[in-house]
Structure 1
Amino acid sequence: MRKLNLLFILALIVGLTTACKENGTGPNGNGGGDNGGEDEPYTGLYEDFYGPTYADDYTPLASWSSRSQWNLANVHDPTVVKDGEYFYMYQTDASYGNAHQGHGHYPSRRSRDLVNWEYREAVFDEAPAWVKDSLNNIRANMDPALPPIDNPRYGFWAPHVTKVGNTYRLYYSVVVTNPILGNDDTEYWTERAFIGLAESNDLSSNNWEDKGMVIHSVADGRETYTRNGGNDWSGYFKFNAIDPSYVVTPEGEHWLIYGSWHSGLAAVEVNPETGKPDELNDLEDFGVRIAGRGNVNSNRWQGLEAPEIIYNEDTGYYYLFLAYDELAVAYNTRVARSRNVTGPYYGIDGGNVTAGAEAYPILTHPYKFYGHHGWVGISHGSVFEDPASGKWYYSSQGRLPRDINGINASNAVMMGQVREIYWTEDGWPVVAPERYADVPDTTITEEDMVGTWEEIILRYQYQTMQTSYYITLNEDNTVEGQITGTWAFDEESQTLTINDVELIVDSAWDWEASPRRTTITYAGINSSGRSVWGKKVDN
């Protein structure tokens, strides 16, 4: 299979090279000028803007002693909020080579511009004591009662930061990885997860007051805690208490959103004063399902997680962002929307995501532009607004692909990524094709559109990177290359239309170019509900 893939790639490169020569451009994106056949280098939108230069392969700086140089290196499951002049980011305990171990839990960093990030200390020095107490109280009250676990093993995953009034709340996940029982050769599910809460009035201080448990994974009695071998992909818990997020409705209701795999994603109303449910006595107290995947009534191992809901007052919709599939390679981001915080949530194709339909649009997906290894594992997004500008952003980790020559365990290289979110005319979000670099906004003209572009359609293919192809926008408003047809540009709305697909245009930083430079990008959604990404590579 690898040999066939290699032959396909070689054939594709040859084909693209031939096509680009016919269009007057080389495969490196240089333009064919009128200077006697010599190529003129593409200088981009601005010649005097100097953006980020730090390498995507940060392994030489991955150690703990180099953390002051990390910037966005070693980021996983980020959550972002703004306090004063700074954006603050918190994350899962994860790093290349486990450099973070022994240095606290839920690492943090901050930035003034979303580009240059300062690493700071972790939120907690040690595991909160309440986790062990809560775990063993639950075990003692099970039927039959289970013995206490004296030394639980923990995972510290996926926090979420939000501002409520003048207080910042940090919801965090603690997973107990011990088996429910482990005294014989029987296979058991691992123990439950917990969501806790800490609060701070000043993020610059990094002082947090722990408020204890909010909610925990709940069993609904449909399964025992034994597994039928390693291929038993059912699930003991109904809702898995990880991946929290938080939303406040215009009516003043406060909702905790959470869940991962198992039986879907949940929303539970919480007390605005405490940030917690008032009761956790009955199954209904743990919330209602807002999204599933497949047959939600029988499938207890659904490949979705990391729910985050925002309310957009301009459109009047709640938007549910969620991650699909495994996180190492296949991870991709979807979105659905509803007029009600608990749903039902519908995709752009009308599918009922609450009832198990696949969510569309696809906002991120493993992809590769020319000249770079590309990115995989791009999901578990944090969606946040800059109150000063009113712009929306998407932040997540991206992983390098597997088996890159010269990089040991390349798929464990996790680079934090921040991308701008644009809103289509009919109220759907799309994510920028290039990472944010604070390139100055400018009015792009129709003349700027003329030239060669790389385009990617984010079609869904499990553990498969979507690769770019070339198209040319000609001066006579025709399109050549992989796509043919016509194009038009509306300077007032900064919208490019290629055939019948409307695309939002913006100035950007070409991270794949060597050397990097400014460029123009576009992003939109095609009639199939897949994101379309493009960047200009030729004058």
Structure 2
Amino acid sequence: MKLKTKKYKAGVFILIVLIIGVTLVMTFAMPKSGNLSDVTLPAAPADKPVQNVNSDILYKEKDWTTNFTHDASIIKADGRYYSFSTDYMVGAPPTPGIQIRKSKDLIHWEFVGRVFEQVSPEAWESTKGTTFWAPDVVKLNDKYYLYYSVSSVGKRNSYIGVAVSDNIEGPWIDEGAVFISQEGDEHTVNAIDPDIVLDEHGQAWMVYGSYFGGIFITKVDSATGKLVDPNDEGTLVAQRKNMNYGIEGPEIIYNGDTGYYYLTVSYEWLEDTYNVRTARSKNITGPYVDYNGSEMIDTTDESFNTGNKLVGAYRFENSDGWLGTGHNALFEENGEYYLTHNARAGEDVYWSHLHVRKIVWTDDGWPVVSPERYAGEAEQEINEENIIGKWEQILLPRYDDSLQDSQNLQLKSNGEMGEDDKSHWALTGDNTLELTVYDPGRAPDDYWKYKLKVIPAWDWENWNGTLVFTGMDQEGTVLWGKKTVEKNK
């Protein structure tokens, strides 16, 4: 009996040790919680949530901030960020003149004034247009060059001009036409939406165009700001099947780390289905190819599906969402990349705002953007315990440009997702969240595999700091996510 008792006690002791060991392993090996106490989150961008629609400011330009911004380009000068944008407002015809705003931090914007008071006689004669569209500003040879468009809606009667100034806020001297397109001329391009980009060797180029002929790129003489060959519309770099497949607002940026030029364009209609697409090339003149190997000059029925979608109409919970998320600009500062675009308030699509978003790069060198507007956040190390909890996710399908609503997502401490024990998550590499989503009969080999970058952000819908993710699946479709943060009551 005593021997049995000793064996029994020894067995109990071993069992207790095993339980303690397993508990310790579980405690230290598994993520413990979903708190963000060790993450540096951005501060609130304002004292209280920002109104997306506010009729009280209609005629108070000093209070416009990001309101009524359309087709903006961004340049940094004299320690400030400057936004130059299309003549636009709500409730009355816009005052002509290209709107100027400035900011210290890309978050808080101050209305500065306008360039010009009316279009030039030459631009009027060519187009009968009365307002300026889609400006772009670049510094060449210690001077600022402001490129602008004047156009006749729905026709190729369009005009790109350039103005020059020693100072970013002017005064500006109009230097006349850079390129003019006319119905029935020998060209196919529509002379609007210019973007000036320097290639890796310092040569300046103008990428431009829209509906009708597509997007072209041509050389610029840096000494004059005009084209090297005034009659050369350049090389076609992007187009779509026909006029029913909208394309416009081109931008190009070079990333020296990847060795690629990245072309962005906007598809569809500016008030609702507007969305930004991208493709890349080793040469500034193309060919530009998307994640799936499709060229951006595709004119087949598949041209609706070309380009990686970076941003499209979306709605998170507790908001009316944003539509018309297009006509972007790109810029880089100290190795950090940003994308700006129009966004129209879901409660009233005539209220257009400037959105600035941080770009992050996938491990294979593709840009993806934050699902939330920039608020000063900095990339930093994220731990597994930060990931656990409730999220909202938004898929941005390439074949559907309508407003996409968020769906709930639960990331559990055991690495599973929701109630599905066949779907899993893992945090790997450089803040890369891998989601393996079981979707039999629809996904390749029954699983969608997402590689997503996790960064801090400001939750503009719920007005608190949080984490977000952004990235793509194995077919190049973007998935956004935002963590739900439980607020103290």
Q: 2:339 matched to 1:394?
A: yes
| Paired letter, 2:144 | Y
CA drift at 1:421: 0.6
Task: Name the structure 2 match of 1:225.
Answer: none
CA contact (8 A) 1:44 1:517 kept: no
Comparing 304-313 and 243-252, the one that deviates more: 243-252
CA drift at 1:128: 2.1
CA drift at 1:113: 0.5
Q: 2:164 matched to 1:199?
A: yes
Q: Give the greater-gyration-radius structure (CA).
A: 2
| Paired letter, 1:352 | E
Task: Name the structure 2 match of 1:213.
Answer: 177
Matches of 1:62 and 1:343 in 2, distance apart? 44
After superposition, the C-alpha distances for 1:163-201 in whole angstroms (9 at most, x for unaligned) are: 224222211001145xxxxxxxxxxx7461100011223
Q: 2:444 matched to 1:501?
A: no
Q: 2:41 matched to 1:84?
A: no
| Paired letter, 1:164 | L
Secondary structure of residue in 2 paired with 1:370: coil
Equivalent of 1:347, from 278, 286, 290? 290
In the superposition, relative to structure 1, how do residues 47 and 279 fare at CA in structure 2: closer, same or farther (>3 Å)? closer
Equivalent of 1:130, from 110, 117, 122? 122
Equivalent of 2:459, from 475, 496, 510? 510
CA contact (8 A) 1:469 1:482 kept: no
Task: Name the structure 1 match of 2:150.
Answer: 174
After superposition, the C-alpha distances for 1:42-74 in whole angstroms (9 at most, x for unaligned) are: 99966893333352423233322x222221111
Comparing 365-374 and 350-359, the one that deviates more: 350-359
Task: Name the structure 1 match of 2:319.
Answer: 372
Task: Name the structure 2 match of 1:311.
Answer: 254
In the superposition, relative to structure 1, how do residues 382 and 47 fare at CA in structure 2: closer, same or farther (>3 Å)? closer
Runs (5+) with no aligned partner, structure 2: 1-32, 437-448
CA drift at 1:252: 3.2
Matches of 1:421 and 1:473 in 2, distance apart? 24
Matches of 1:304 and 1:330 in 2, distance apart? 12
In the superposition, relative to structure 1, how do residues 483 and 78 fare at CA in structure 2: closer, same or farther (>3 Å)? farther
State the number of aligned residues: 437
Task: Name the structure 1 match of 2:19.
Answer: none
In the superposition, relative to structure 1, how do residues 449 and 42 fare at CA in structure 2: closer, same or farther (>3 Å)? closer
Q: 2:187 matched to 1:244?
A: no
After superposition, the C-alpha distances for 1:281-338 in whole angstroms (9 at most, x for unaligned) are: 4xxx1212111112xxxx4664111111111111111111000011110101100111
CA drift at 1:262: 0.2
Equivalent of 1:460, from 390, 398, 409? 398
| Paired letter, 2:68 | N
CA contact (8 A) 2:245 2:267 kept: no
What is the Cα-based RMSD across aligned positions, in Å? 2.6
Q: 2:243 matched to 1:292?
A: no
Task: Name the structure 1 match of 2:332.
Answer: 385
CA drift at 1:342: 1.2
Comparing 109-118 and 160-169, the one that deviates more: 160-169
| Paired letter, 2:55 | P
Secondary structure of residue in 1 paired with 2:373: coil
Matches of 2:404 and 2:210 in 1, distance apart? 26
Matches of 1:482 and 1:383 in 2, distance apart? 39
CA drift at 1:368: 0.9
Task: Name the structure 2 match of 1:18.
Answer: none
Q: 2:192 matched to 1:255?
A: no
Matches of 2:84 and 2:420 in 1, distance apart? 41
Matches of 2:421 and 2:367 in 1, distance apart? 24
Equivalent of 1:57, from 52, 55, 58? 52
| Paired letter, 1:333 | V
CA contact (8 A) 1:366 1:376 kept: yes
Task: Name the structure 2 match of 1:108.
Answer: 100
CA contact (8 A) 1:59 1:96 kept: no
What TM-score, normalized by structure 2, do the two folds share? Answer: 0.83
CA drift at 1:483: 9.6
CA contact (8 A) 1:61 1:67 kept: no
Matches of 1:43 and 1:200 in 2, distance apart? 49
Matches of 1:520 and 1:173 in 2, distance apart? 39
Task: Name the structure 2 match of 1:411.
Answer: 349
CA contact (8 A) 1:331 1:365 kept: yes
| Paired letter, 2:345 | L
Secondary structure of residue in 2 paired with 1:448: helix
Matches of 1:215 and 1:163 in 2, distance apart? 19
